[in-house]
Amino acid sequence: MHHVPSIIDGKEIDGQHGALEVLDPGNGEQWAQVGQCGEAEVDLAVKAARAAYDNGWSDTPAVERGRLMRKLADLIIRDGARIAEFETRDVGKPISQAKKDVIAVARYFEYYGSIVECLDGDTLQTSPAVFAMTIREPFGVTGHITPWNYPLQMVARTLAPSLAAGNCCVLKPAELTPVNASVIAQLALEAGVPPGVWNVVQGPGSTVGNAITAHDGIDHVSFTGSRPVGEMVAINAAKHVIPVVLELGGKSPNIIFPDADMAEAIPQVVNAIIQNAGQTCSAGSRVLIHEDCYDEVNELIAAEFRKIVLGHGMTDPGMGPVVSAKQLDTVSGMVTEGIKLAEGDLVVGGKRAEGHGGGFFMEPTFFTNVPESGYLFKEEIFGPVLVGTKFTDEADAIRLANATEFGLVAGIWTRDAGRALRMAKKIKTGQVFINTYGAAGGVELPFGGWKKSGYGREKGFEGMLGYTQTKTIAIGL
């Protein structure tokens, strides 16, 4: 049985608020155990982070912080096989996807460990009697609450820029997938990151998560998860006037024109919803298809869906389980509701997959002719469910792309560069991909929501700027 500690001030501790069983979604069996923490441990972690900040982390030269981040990246690669297996057992994803996650995680620390050396301010023109400049300073202690779908990547995406910029962190990973947050915090200590700089407090959102967002000693909060919890986090933060980054949900469209390179488009459109069993905030969960290629594209997608083999993540199947029995209930329940409402035609899948023992498996599911007024068109399902809708022209495609409350990502598939760029400007999402989707993770590319997908940006240089505040200094000459 794998044992998962919390890590506070560089020490492994076990929370005393009950033991939490961590299940392997591929077979439903317990494989790890965590001692849950409570508010007292959050308080200890915040104090440890403050002490580490005041006692040197913020004054450590950027080049030194960067070296430690890059050393951590090397240790993550060194232990990559073990970390990838933990990720597969925690989330259920195919091991080849978990290995890619490990590479992306190392890349976050390498990237932010490098660009932090360019975290410079400006000199500003004002009157001849004044010399003015800006400097970029860390906030102090940042709180981080991460979801279960990409436990490794979400931790790295939010902690790497914050730590590199000179903040100290208190992290609460999702209780469904707690393992690797503690594993990489231990590697950070091995790399030489001082105790207290990176604290992990294990436990439920309602207590530990809430305590982080309500704590007076937290100077900034980054939250990745669902909209209802995001609203609560923002309200707590508003009460003590601290900034929040909210990375919430999506219902992202892939838009296919008849002149698209179908051999490129179809596998990527399918992967955009099948990867991680559709449990990806930026999943391509809608496909908008031009009327002139509608039947052809529907058939191509359906054929790919029918080929997908399900299995335990360690066998590296085409698709693994969803994360939990509860998530399987949610996804299959939403699909059943869509079928009941007769919104569109079910082409492939539509129910729980049988014959996988105690694992939590959903059939890859594809609906066509889904109307834009419909539940299936608008709601984030967060499972392997793709809905297809026909469009007539460019303007119609833009209208449909924007017809949900979300605005995270969109994909456009066409050989007409002018059309692609016209559309990219009109689509209300934080990222637009043309003839690709996701750009292989794109650590360097700013990412975040428009509309109800959230606010603030992570990834890229902008992601690190978000963990700093500007100070203007002016000198009378």
Query: Which residue out of 41, 281, 363, 458 is catalytically annotated?
Result: 281
**Residue 64: other Cβ atoms inside 10 A:** 12
DSSP-based three-state secondary structure for 11 = strand
# binding residues, ligand NAP (CB under 6 A): 28
Q: Which is nearer to Mg ion, 176 or 385 (CB)?
A: 176
Contact mark string toward ligand NAP, 91..130, x via CB under 6 A: ----------------------------------------
CA 66 to chain CA mean position, Å: 23
Decide if 86 contacts 99 (C-beta within 8 A): no
Query: Which residue out of 110, 175, 247, 394 is catalytically annotated?
Result: 247
Q: DSSP H helical segments within 287-324, as ranges?
A: 294-307
Stretch that binds ligand NAP, among 69-77, 147-155, 263-271, 384-392 (CB under 6 A): 147-155
281 catalytic? Reply is: yes
Nearest distance from C-beta of residue 311 to Mg ion, angstroms: 17
Q: Which residues contact 167 (CB under 8 A, 6 or more apart)?
A: 53, 57, 58, 138, 139, 140, 141, 142, 219, 220, 467
Phi, psi dihedral angles at 10 (to 5 degrees)? 80, 0
Pairwise CA distance, residues 242 & 329, whole Å = 36
Pairwise CA distance, residues 383 & 308, whole Å = 15
Q: What six digits make up the tokens of 64? A: 């030194």
Nearest distance from C-beta of residue 220 to ligand NAP, angstroms: 15
Residue type, 272: A
Contact mark string toward Mg ion, 80..99, x via CB under 5 A: ----------x---------
Phi, psi dihedral angles at 399 (to 5 degrees)? -60, -45
Q: Which is nearer to ligand NAP, 30 or 126 (CB)?
A: 30
Rg, the chain, Cα only: 23
Q: Which is nearer to ligand NAP, 174 or 464 (CB)?
A: 174
Nearest distance from C-beta of residue 470 to ligand NAP, angstroms: 25
Residue nearest ligand NAP (C-beta atom):
205
Q: Is 382 in the site for ligand NAP (CB under 6 A)?
A: yes
Site residues for ligand NAP, 197-236, by CB under 6 A, read 204-206, 209-210, 213, 224-226, 229, 232-233
343 catalytic? Reply is: no
Instruction: Specify the residue for token string 């967060």.
Output: 382
One residue of 34, 102, 145, 265 binding ligand NAP per CB under 6 A: 145
Active site (catalytic) residues = 247, 281
Residues at the site binding ligand NAP, with contacts judged by CB under 6 A: 145-149, 172, 174-175, 204-206, 209-210, 213, 224-226, 229, 232-233, 247-250, 281, 380, 382, 454
